[in-house]
Structure 1
Amino acid sequence: MTGQTAKIASPCECGTMAMRQVNQFMLHDELWWDSEFSCGSCGTYLCEHASPGAAPADVREALLAAHGPVKLRLISPVPSLVPALKVFREATAASLTRARELVEELSHDGVVGTLPVMEFLKARLQTRAVPVDIDR
């Protein structure tokens, strides 16, 4: 299981600053994210979210700030990038236009994102015989 965690200072209802922990990981061949909130002053603890799917922007940004981005890239030429287009459409629910942009990025400089997302895409692309690797 590939995963990353970041902690974000967050205001609590009690008036103090608390901690929000966000996580992104692969579980049972799916990409998941979750968020937990805890306050050391008043003892509040909440599981704010836990489910499969794409993480919201604030979670992605916190993970990128904590761990830095990684790059998914082609490691050898392929006769057709149609399988990659299908993966991006299916795995990310991207529009056809956005999937084409991602394929273009993959075939040039690489697709940049969090490690869990790039591992998720790598597994799916390799299943379709698209030779990719991750630069950390």
Structure 2
Amino acid sequence: MTGRTAEIAVRCACGSAAVRRVNQFVLHDELWWDAEFSCDACGAHLCEHAGAEPAPDDVRAALLAAHGPVRLRLVGPLPSRLPALKVVREVLSVPLPRAGELVEELSREGLEGTAAEMEFLGDRLRRGGVPVDVDR
């Protein structure tokens, strides 16, 4: 799994321009994100967050802007939707009706997200016996 990084221009408490680096990757079979802040003017540097949980909207938006979306699609028809429903519901923490909608999207145009999100979901689906492919 290849992680992705994006940089966001921010203002430091010292008033200077600074950088917030955000990353998303798979670690220990979990989808992680982290963020670091640094200011060359005053030397401030800190880790804002690191953990296995859904990335906030601003992190996802920065990664999508920097690298573009990635699409996950089914490869062929499913003999049963049950394995796909189970994995989608589990990985995305959505109720069953929403999982059904997402599986339908997978079978039509596919699901879009960050590279790490789609590679993580794709890996879990393949392990569940669901044939999928990630389009970059």
TM-score, length-normalised on structure 1?
0.96
Matched residues in 1 for 2:14 and 2:96: separation? Answer: 46
Q: Which runs of 5+ in 1 are unaligned?
A: none
SS in 2 for 1:13: coil
Aligned residues: 136
CA contact (8 A) 1:54 1:92 kept: no
Deviation per CA, 1:52-87: give whole Å up to 9, x if none. 011011000100000000100011111111211111
1:115-126 equivalences in 2 (<5 Å): 115-126=115-126
Are 2:62 and 1:70 equivalent residues in the alignment?
Answer: no
SS in 2 for 1:58: helix
- Which letter maps to 1:130? V
SS in 1 for 2:48: strand
SS in 1 for 2:99: helix
1:1-136 equivalences in 2 (<5 Å): 1-136=1-136
Matched residues in 1 for 2:47 and 2:104: separation? Answer: 38
Give identity over the alignment, percent.
Answer: 64
TM-score, length-normalised on structure 2?
0.96
After TM superposition, give the deviation of residue 2 of structure 1 in Å: 2.1
After TM superposition, give the deviation of residue 88 of structure 1 in Å: 1.2
- Which letter maps to 2:56? P
- Which letter maps to 1:125? L
Matched residues in 2 for 1:33 and 1:124: separation? Answer: 18
Matched residues in 2 for 1:85 and 1:47: separation? Answer: 36
Matched residues in 2 for 1:18 and 1:54: separation? Answer: 25
- Which letter maps to 1:115? A
- Which letter maps to 2:103? V
Query: Which deviates more, 124-133 or 77-86?
Result: 77-86
- Which letter maps to 2:27? L
Deviation per CA, 1:67-113: give whole Å up to 9, x if none. 00010001111111121111111111122232222111101100001
